[in-house]
């Protein structure tokens, strides 16, 4: 569980219990069958919204085709009853399994896409299924009634039983969603949404988490669809696979509050009765009024309260909750890694690494090595290929040739998160944070990425924060941190993953002299603790003090390597990078 999850869960579960009971009590007083139907539909659409929220709200992968899963659930239940006389009590779980399978089949190819492409592709699936079903002749399938064993086939004379079942299904869905939200699953998804590359570099296997989210989401949507078919009794391709169905999940969640489990519930509770009532009252004079109302609702929400009602209400009336501080005792629980004796063999050995873009050789046959506990500075003119080198080592880019071995194990060819798990931490030239998450969570992502258990993760994150000196800002949202704090945050995030090697890309960029000294102090301490660091920097006075050796890159090639003093007096280096005046200034 995430830090502070226990309290969150207790609170939310209590609210859930209270709201469900209140709702059921309300439902018991309603006699009109039309309103009873509405009361049953609200939790169904809410559940659908909750399922969508897991993938698209937490994970940020906007899907416009969740009707695929909804429809699969609906048709499974219906066809099971019609062709195999299987009760919906079995049909719904069966639909759930099929929904999960469909999620895997859909996710495998489609997760190679991002953003717009992903959303549009997801749109295509339910529509394709819709056309195929129409072709196959399943225009309209109605569920037969079973006079002898109604209850066994989920047929009840009392409509309020359906409401009860719907609410129970919704409660199950909300509980699942809450568990996800408060676990590393949820944090991984939020991180992926806010900065996928940073999450990967911190060790999070984005593809795997997205797939998990889609499977859970698909299963939940299928359950909603299966039950929906049961209430509707007649299933047509358009009513469960159509655009409006996919839109329903999106509208309800966005209106109510995206990335929060309560959002879809609130959205469904408001929009479904509104639309249905309008349709009933005005449907004859104004056909399509429902669609217009939905359209206006979501445009209004997007303009006035872009994250949805829930967040606006929470922020305005309840304010930001102060986060639970991390107890200091947790940090000491993790043993400090002893500085290992130098075995003689280098920790990182890079040989003939090359990478070109089109005709441009960004990195050309670069070779160097770093010993354990050493600090290597990589310097060179702009465009020399330094960041590209890191990107290749890190797995962000592939290498054309060459090898890079960490303690004898090949790093190249692995995905970014896998390289991180080998023990390589990375910071970026332009800081990549998770802007809406508090500092502690930003660092926790690194701990989770390393695969630590919940308890070890919190301890590791706490220790990392103390190492960089940010333990008192753990609750500050990353968007509000200063530049120096952000740089230290990235360092802490990398440290939380217990790296053996740190790749720092311009960790001092944009810092004033004093701030620079602060960060250098942290780096020097890390060196004392035995950390191996490879750092790209232009701030020469800092590098002279920090680095044990330099590697100079120019036009993608290694120009010089050696001790700092020797390198800066090298003519070739002066010519290409430093300029004569710089050296003169140093000696002055």
Partner 1 sequence: MDLEILIENVLNAVTAGITIGCIYGLMCIGLGLIFGVMRIVNFAQGELLMLGMFASYYLVTGGRVLSFLGPYWGPFIGAICAAPIVFAGGAILHRFLISRVSGLRTAGSLDEGHFGQLIVTLGISLILQNGGQIVFGSTPVAVRTPLSAEAFLIGPIYRGATVFLNKAKLIAFFVAILVAIVLYLTLEYTRLGKALRAAADNPTAATYMGIDVDRAYRIAFGLGSAITAVAGGLMATYISFGPFVGFDYVIIMYSGVVLGGMGSILGAFWGGLTVGFVQQFSALILPPQLQNATIFVVFLMIVLLRPQGLFGRSAERA
Partner 2 sequence: MLAVHDLHAFYGKSHILQGVDLRVGQGEIVSLLGRNGVGRTTTCKAIMGLLAPVGRVVFKDRDIAGLRADVIAHAGIGYVPEDRQIFPTLTVQQNLELGLKRTGRFGRWSFDDMYALFPNLAERRRNAAGVLSGGEQQMLTMCRTLMGDPELVIIDEPTEGLAPKLVEQVATLLDEIARRGVSILLVEQKLTIALKISHRVYVMGHGRIVFEGTPAELLANEAVRRERLEV
Q: How many other C-beta atoms lie within 10 A of the C-beta of residue 148?
A: 6
Residue 571 makes contact with partner 2 by CB under 8 A: no
Residue 427 makes contact with partner 2 by CB under 8 A: no
Q: At a CB cut-off of 8 Å and minimum separation 6, what does 344 contact?
A: none
Cα 558 to Cα 12, 34, 163, 551, 569: the distances in Å are 58, 77, 71, 7, 16
Cβ pair 88, 154 in contact under 8 A: yes
- Which among partner 1, partner 2, none contacts residue 180 (Cβ within 5 to 8 A by kind)? none
- Which among partner 2, partner 1, none contacts residue 131 (Cβ within 5 to 8 A by kind)? partner 1
- Which among partner 1, partner 2, none contacts residue 540 (Cβ within 5 to 8 A by kind)? partner 2
Cβ pair 349, 405 in contact under 8 A: yes
Of positions 116, 147, 149, 513, contacts partner 2 by CB under 8 A: 513
In the complex with partner 1, the residue whose CB is nearer, 150 or 287, is 287
Query: Burial of 85 by CB count in 10 Å (0-12 exposed, 13-18 middle, 19+ buried)?
Result: exposed
- Which among partner 1, partner 2, none contacts residue 247 (Cβ within 5 to 8 A by kind)? partner 1
Residue 383 makes contact with partner 2 by CB under 8 A: yes
User: How far is it, in rounded angstroms, from Cα 247 to Cα 351?
Assistant: 53
- Which among partner 1, partner 2, none contacts residue 60 (Cβ within 5 to 8 A by kind)? partner 1
Query: Burial of 137 by CB count in 10 Å (0-12 exposed, 13-18 middle, 19+ buried)?
Result: exposed
**C-alpha distance across the termini of the chain, in Å:** 58
Residue 135 makes contact with partner 1 by CB under 8 A: yes
Instruction: Write each residue from 470 to 499 as x if it is in contact with partner 2 (CB under 8 A), else as -, in one continuous string.
Output: ------------xx----------------
Cβ pair 427, 487 in contact under 8 A: yes
CB of 298 to partner 1, least distance (A): 4
Residue 509 makes contact with partner 2 by CB under 8 A: yes
Q: Tell me the site size for partner 2, rule CB under 8 A.
A: 29
Task: Pick the stretch among 228-236, 294-302, 374-382, 528-536 that binds partner 1 (CB under 8 A).
Answer: 294-302
Q: At a CB cut-off of 8 Å and minimum separation 6, what does 551 contact?
A: 368, 376, 377, 378, 379, 558, 560, 561
DSSP letter for 149, please.
Answer: S
Q: Where are the alpha helices (H) located in 395-449, listed in sequence order?
A: 416-423, 439-449
Instruction: Write each residue from 436 to 475 as x if it is in contact with partner 2 (CB under 8 A), else as -, in one continuous string.
Output: ----------------------------------------
Residue 429 φ then ψ, to 5°: -60, -45
Among 353, 422, 359, smallest CA distance to 390 is for 353
Two tokens at 218? 């698909």
Cα 452 to Cα 2, 178, 197, 471: the distances in Å are 12, 22, 20, 20
Instruction: Write each residue from 422 to 451 as x if it is in contact with partner 1 (CB under 8 A), else as -, in one continuous string.
Output: ------x------xx---------------
Instruction: Write each residue from 533 to 552 as x if it is in contact with partner 2 (CB under 8 A), else as -, in one continuous string.
Output: -----x-x------------
Q: At a CB cut-off of 8 Å and minimum separation 6, what does 528 contact?
A: none
In the complex with partner 1, the residue whose CB is nearer, 43 or 267, is 267
Residue 105 makes contact with partner 1 by CB under 8 A: no
CB of 291 to partner 1, least distance (A): 3
Q: What is the 3-state secondary structure (H, E, C) of 67-102?
A: HHHHHHHHHHHHHHHHHHCCCHHHHHHHHHHHHHHH
Question: Would you mind telling me the total number of residues written for the chain in this entry?
Answer: 588
Of positions 27, 72, 127, 452, contacts partner 1 by CB under 8 A: 127
Residue 280 makes contact with partner 1 by CB under 8 A: no
Residue 151 makes contact with partner 1 by CB under 8 A: no
Residue 258 makes contact with partner 1 by CB under 8 A: yes
User: How far is it, in rounded angstroms, from Cα 535 to Cα 425?
Assistant: 12
In the complex with partner 1, the residue whose CB is nearer, 62 or 583, is 62
- Which among partner 1, partner 2, none contacts residue 511 (Cβ within 5 to 8 A by kind)? partner 2
Report CA Rg, the chain: 29
CB of 139 to partner 1, least distance (A): 11
Residue 429 makes contact with partner 2 by CB under 8 A: yes
Q: Tell me the site size for partner 1, rule CB under 8 A.
A: 55
Residue 302 makes contact with partner 1 by CB under 8 A: yes
DSSP letter for 337, please.
Answer: P
- Which among partner 1, partner 2, none contacts residue 172 (Cβ within 5 to 8 A by kind)? none
Contact residues toward partner 2 (CB under 8 A) are 357, 360, 379-384, 387, 429, 482-483, 506, 509-515, 538, 540, 576-579, 581-582, 585
Contact residues toward partner 1 (CB under 8 A) are 60, 62, 64, 109-110, 112-113, 115-117, 119-121, 123-125, 127-128, 131-132, 134-135, 193-194, 197, 243, 247, 250-251, 254, 258, 286-292, 294-299, 301-303, 306, 387, 391, 396-397, 428, 435-436
């Amino acid at each position: 569980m995430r830090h502070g999850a226990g309290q969150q869960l207790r609170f939310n579960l209590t609210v859930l219990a209270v709201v469900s009971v209140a709702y059921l009590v309300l439902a018991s007083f309603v006699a009109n069958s039309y309103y009873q139907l509405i009361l049953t539909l609200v939790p169904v659409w809410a559940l659908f919204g909750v399922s969508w929220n897991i993938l698209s709200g937490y994970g940020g992968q906007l899907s416009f085709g969740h009707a695929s899963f909804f429809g699969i659930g609906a048709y499974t239940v219906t066809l099971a009853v019609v062709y195999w006389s299987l009760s919906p009590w079995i049909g719904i779980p069966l639909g759930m399994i099929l929904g999960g399978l469909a999620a895997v089949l859909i996710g495998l190819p489609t997760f190679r896409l991002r953003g717009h492409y992903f959303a549009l592709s997801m749109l295509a699936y339910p529509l394709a299924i819709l056309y195929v079903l129409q072709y196959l002749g399943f225009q309209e399938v109605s569920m037969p009634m079973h006079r002898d064993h109604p209850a066994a086939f989920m047929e009840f004379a009392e409509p309020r039983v359906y409401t009860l079942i719907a609410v129970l299904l919704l409660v199950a869905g909300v509980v699942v969603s809450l568990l996800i939200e408060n676990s590393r699953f949820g944090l991984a998804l939020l991180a992926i949404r806010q900065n996928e590359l940073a999450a990967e570099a911190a060790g999070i296997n984005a593809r795997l988490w997205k797939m998990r989210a889609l499977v859970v989401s698909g299963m939940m949507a299928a359950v909603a669809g299966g039950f929906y078919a049961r209430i509707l009794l007649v299933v047509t391709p358009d009513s469960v696979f159509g655009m409006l169905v996919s839109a329903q999940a999106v509208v309800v969640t966005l209106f109510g509050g995206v990335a929060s489990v309560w959002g879809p519930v609130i959205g469904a509770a408001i929009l479904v009765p509104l639309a249905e009532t309008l349709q009933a009252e005005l449907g004859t004079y104004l056909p399509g009024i429902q669609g217009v109302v939905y359209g206006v609702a979501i445009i209004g929400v997007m303009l006035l309260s872009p994250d949805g009602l829930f967040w606006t209400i929470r922020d305005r009336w309840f304010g930001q909750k102060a986060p639970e501080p991390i107890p200091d005792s947790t940090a000491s629980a993790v043993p400090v890694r002893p500085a290992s004796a130098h075995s003689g063999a280098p920790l990182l050995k890079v040989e003939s690494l090359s990478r070109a873009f089109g005709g441009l050789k960004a990195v050309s046959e670069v070779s160097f090595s770093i010993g354990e506990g050493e600090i290597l500075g990589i310097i060179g003119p702009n465009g020399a290929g330094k960041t590209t080198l890191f990107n290749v080592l890190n797995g962000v880019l592939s290498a054309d040739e060459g090898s890079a071995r960490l303690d004898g194990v090949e790093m190249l060819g692995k995905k970014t998160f896998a390289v991180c798990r080998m023990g390589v931490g990375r910071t970026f030239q332009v800081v990549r944070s998770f802007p809406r998450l508090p500092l502690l969570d930003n660092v926790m992502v690194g701990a989770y990425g390393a695969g630590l258990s919940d308890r070890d993760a919190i301890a590791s994150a706490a220790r990392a924060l103390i190492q960089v000196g940010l333990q008192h800002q753990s609750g500050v949202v990353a968007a509000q941190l200063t530049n120096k704090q952000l740089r230290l945050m990235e360092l802490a995030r990398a440290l939380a993953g217990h790296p053996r090697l740190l790749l720092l890309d311009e960790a001092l960029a944009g810092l004033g002299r004093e701030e620079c000294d602060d960060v250098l102090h942290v780096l020097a301490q890390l060196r004392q603790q035995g950390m191996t660091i490879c750092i790209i920097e232009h701030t020469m006075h800092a590098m002279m003090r920090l680095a044990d050796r330099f590697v100079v890159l120019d036009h993608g090639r290694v120009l010089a390597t050696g001790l700092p003093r020797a390198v800066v007096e090298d003519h070739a280096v002066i010519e290409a990078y430093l300029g004569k005046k710089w050296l003169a200034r140093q000696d002055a």
